[in-house]
A and B are shown apart, each in its own frame.
Chain A
Amino acid sequence: AQSVAQPEDQVNVAEGNPLTVKCTYSVSGNPYLFWYVQYPNRGLQFLLKYITGDNLVKGSYGFEAEFNKSQTSFHLKKPSALVSDSALYFCAVRSSTDSWGKFQFGAGTQVVVTP
């Protein structure tokens, strides 16, 4: 069975400081990993994904994520946070052994960026 853990319910950071949102996973086979952002009363928006290749993935709005196979992690990062980055962030995984696209989502991490 596949699973995703986001160990922090909330991350607080001052504007201009680096932002990190943590994600660890467990899958059989190779993982496909995704990050999404959700603003209040809105759907989830895709930020970036790791499928294969370079472990550092760059995505939308200045976000990036690093795939670490040995630590089974896929942490989301942004060098300099903005107040507008305040939102709910979800990590998701699916397995390369799945014949179709069933995704497992983490519980979400609320990011609060203060001016």
Chain B
Amino acid sequence: DGGITQSPKYLFRKEGQNVTLSCEQNLNHDAMYWYRQDPGQGLRLIYYSQIVNDFQKGDIAEGYSVSREKKESFPLTVTSAQKNPTAFYLCASSTPEGGNTIYFGEGSWLTVV
């Protein structure tokens, strides 16, 4: 099936650790995104990428890093510099033109222990 796969679904991070969330899509989309969702709140854009080997910071990029080495993959690393990383993380993709829809993965829960 075509879609966006995020893994793991649940992840626990110790203080001072970096963790990486995986996002893979087989929709042949050029654009990919990472959003953060806190309980009871809306979506905030962390990073986005229009094309392979290119990405831009979103509204809350501090403490996060990404790479885009392949069209299908857009992993997000939550670094130890992110002081409040506990949240639900959503990966998404779209084709960039016109009114094309953005599609989401099932999300990953990150909890600091």
Q: A43-B105, A44-B104, A101-B31 are in contact. Are A49 and B99 (CB under 8 A)?
A: yes
B42 touches A101 (CB 8 A): no
Within 8 A of B (CB), among A58-115: 90, 92, 94, 96, 99-103, 105-108
Contacts A43-B105, A45-B104, A103-B102 supplied; 6 other A-B pairs, CB < 8 Å = A32-B99, A42-B106, A46-B102, A52-B99, A99-B96, A100-B50
A-B contact pairs, 10 of them (CB 8 A): A32-B99, A34-B101, A41-B109, A43-B90, A44-B104, A92-B102, A96-B98, A100-B97, A101-B96, A102-B48
Verify if B100 is at the interface (C-beta below 8 Å from A): yes
Prevailing SS type, chain B contact patch? strand
Give the complex CA separation of A41 and B107 in angstroms: 7
Chain A contacts for B88, CB-based, 8 A: 41
Shortest Cβ distance from B109 into A: residue: A41
Verify if A56 is at the interface (C-beta below 8 Å from B): no
Give the complex CA separation of A45 and B43 in angstroms: 14
| Count of CB-CB pairs between chains A and B under 8 Å | 61
Chain A contacts for B98, CB-based, 8 A: 32, 51, 96
A105 touches B42 (CB 8 A): yes
B42 touches A46 (CB 8 A): no
A49 touches B101 (CB 8 A): yes
Residue from A45, A94, A102, A106 in contact with B42 in the complex, judged by beta carbons closer than 8 Å: A106
A90 touches B42 (CB 8 A): yes
Chain A contacts for B97, CB-based, 8 A: 100-101
A100 touches B104 (CB 8 A): no
A43 touches B104 (CB 8 A): yes
A42 touches B41 (CB 8 A): no
Shortest Cβ distance from B29 into A: residue: A101
A101 touches B102 (CB 8 A): yes
A101 touches B100 (CB 8 A): yes
Residue from A42, A46, A100 in contact with B96 in the complex, judged by beta carbons closer than 8 Å: A100
Verify if B95 is at the interface (C-beta below 8 Å from A): yes
